[in-house]
Amino acid sequence: MRVLVGMSGGVDSSVAAALLLEQGHEVVGATLKLWGGASDSGCCSVADVDDARRVAQQLGVAHHVFSFTDDFDEHVVAPYVAEHAAGRTPNPCIECNRHLKFDRFLRRALVLGFDAVATGHHARVAVTQAGFELRRGADQAKDQSYVLHVLGQEQLARILLPVGDLRKDEVRRRAAALGLRTAAKPDSQDVCFITASGGRSAFLGARTGLHPADVVDRGGAPIGRVDAVELVTIGQRRGLGAAGGTGRPRYAVEVDVPGRRVVVGDSDDLLRGSVQLAKPSWVDTPPADGSAVLAQISAHGPALVARWATGRVAWTQPQRAVAPGQAVVLYDATDPDRCLGGGTAS
């Protein structure tokens, strides 16, 4: 096959390209320039492009740089800002996979005559009689199926995830054996367009403005103030200036940005038995109403037993701190590595 490998300049995509070559594919590398602004943590700095290019040179494959900064701003950064401004908890990596890596980039690859794209994600695409399955990566600690749950059959038919069968230490071992300069490069962390020095507050402050808010208890009695209501996340405990009269820890249980108000409550007030999913997206057909599923609310959190019915996930045991905007990803209760898809907590 002719495969266009998305090379971020990290070790996983470097090894992905090497593995595809070993398997006899015709490989070309491409690095996506996604973020036009300052970055120190992410995957589109000039230094990372240099790493990707040097690995491609070492492997003897062509390498291109594609600038998708406008699409990234429109589909990832702007919604991220809007979600925070609405007091919700967005996951920009999911939107990037949905709109950039497996849409814009995939379409670019197909129009250029490639048969498939590959990335260094830790997840697996399995081919069955029924179609394509999205499965957790072999390294459960590094599994990225959560952020890939937006992939459907049409996309999975064109996607290769070569390192999904490997543990991370094996990926690094292979990179070192090949002498790739990225072998010991640290994993990327956090949101790529937010600098470690400025953090979310500097970024959101510049893009949307931050506003102080009252912190109140569930009865509406004032407890304190926060500097930036847009930065408060459901379940957050620190920085709320709310030691509380009872001496028990208090958590943000409701964030009302327009009302400039954060409601705090006890740990138990964070429990939610069920949640409605907006913008659902399925790997194949949606799960049947009333079926048992495993539902996961963060990239590396546990997937817990729940029931799926009428667009709603109802957990057997209530869940703590399911924030609006967070992705809820469903897995097959009888085949826990198989991702079914998911949606956004309302």
Partner 1 sequence: MAPSTHVPGRVVYLDNAATTPLRPEALEAMLPFLTERFGNPSGGHRVAREARLALDEARDEVADVLGCGPGEVVFTAGGTEADNLAVLGVVAARGGTAVCPAAEHHAVLHAVLAAGGRVVGTGPDAAVDPDQLAAALDDLRGEVSVVSAMAANNEVGTVTPLAEVAAVVAERAPGATLHTDAVQAAGWCDLRTLAAPADLISVAAHKLGGPKGVGCLVVRAGTPLRPLLHGGGQERERRSGTQDVAGVVGFATALRLAAEERAEAGDRARALRARLLDLLQRQVGRVVVSVPLERALPGHLHVRVNGCEGEAMLVLLDDAGVCASAGSACASGAVEPSHVLLAMGVPKAEALTSLRLSIGRATTEADVVDAAAAVAAAAAQLRAG
* Shortest distance in whole angstroms from residue 46 CB to partner 1: 5
Q: How far is CA 337 from CA 53, 97, 134, 234, 333, in A?
A: 34, 20, 8, 28, 9
* Shortest distance in whole angstroms from residue 174 CB to partner 1: 26
The span from the CA of 102 to the CA of 15, in Å, is 19
Task: Return the sign of the alpha-carbon dihedral for residues 257, 262, 267, 272.
Answer: negative
DSSP string, 115-127: SEEE---SEEEEE
Task: Indicate if 43 belongs to the active site.
Answer: no
* Shortest distance in whole angstroms from residue 36 CB to partner 1: 8
Is-contact 250 265, C-beta < 8 A?
yes
Q: Which of 43, 44, 192, 339 is catalytic?
A: 192
The span from the CA of 8 to the CA of 48, in Å, is 7
Is the CB of 6 or the CB of 90 nearer to partner 1?
6
Q: How far is CA 153 from CA 98, 144, 239, 341, in A?
A: 13, 18, 44, 11
Beta-strand relationship, 26-33 and 123-127: unpaired
Is the CB of 72 or the CB of 308 nearer to partner 1?
72
Q: Which of 43, 44, 93, 96 is catalytic?
A: 96
* Shortest distance in whole angstroms from residue 155 CB to partner 1: 16
Give residue 325's Cα distance to chain centre.
Answer: 12
Is the CB of 31 or the CB of 155 nearer to partner 1?
31
Is-contact 313 293, C-beta < 8 A?
yes
Q: Site residues (CB under 8 A) for partner 1? A: 31, 33, 44, 46, 49, 53, 62, 64-67, 69-70, 107-108, 110-113
Task: Indicate if 44 belongs to the active site.
Answer: no
* Shortest distance in whole angstroms from residue 49 CB to partner 1: 4
Q: How far is CA 34 from CA 28, 29, 54, 268, in A?
A: 19, 16, 19, 41
* Shortest distance in whole angstroms from residue 85 CB to partner 1: 26
* Shortest distance in whole angstroms from residue 112 CB to partner 1: 6
269 closest CA partner among 247, 245, 246, 252: 252
Name residue 6's beta-bridge partners. Answer: 30
Name residue 216's beta-bridge partners. Answer: 222, 263
List for the chain the helix, strand, coil content (%; round to 5).
30, 30, 40
Q: How far is CA 77 from CA 85, 91, 249, in A?
A: 12, 10, 33
Q: Which residues contact 78 (CB under 8 A, 6 or more apart)?
A: none
> Could you give the residue numbers annotated as active site?
96, 192
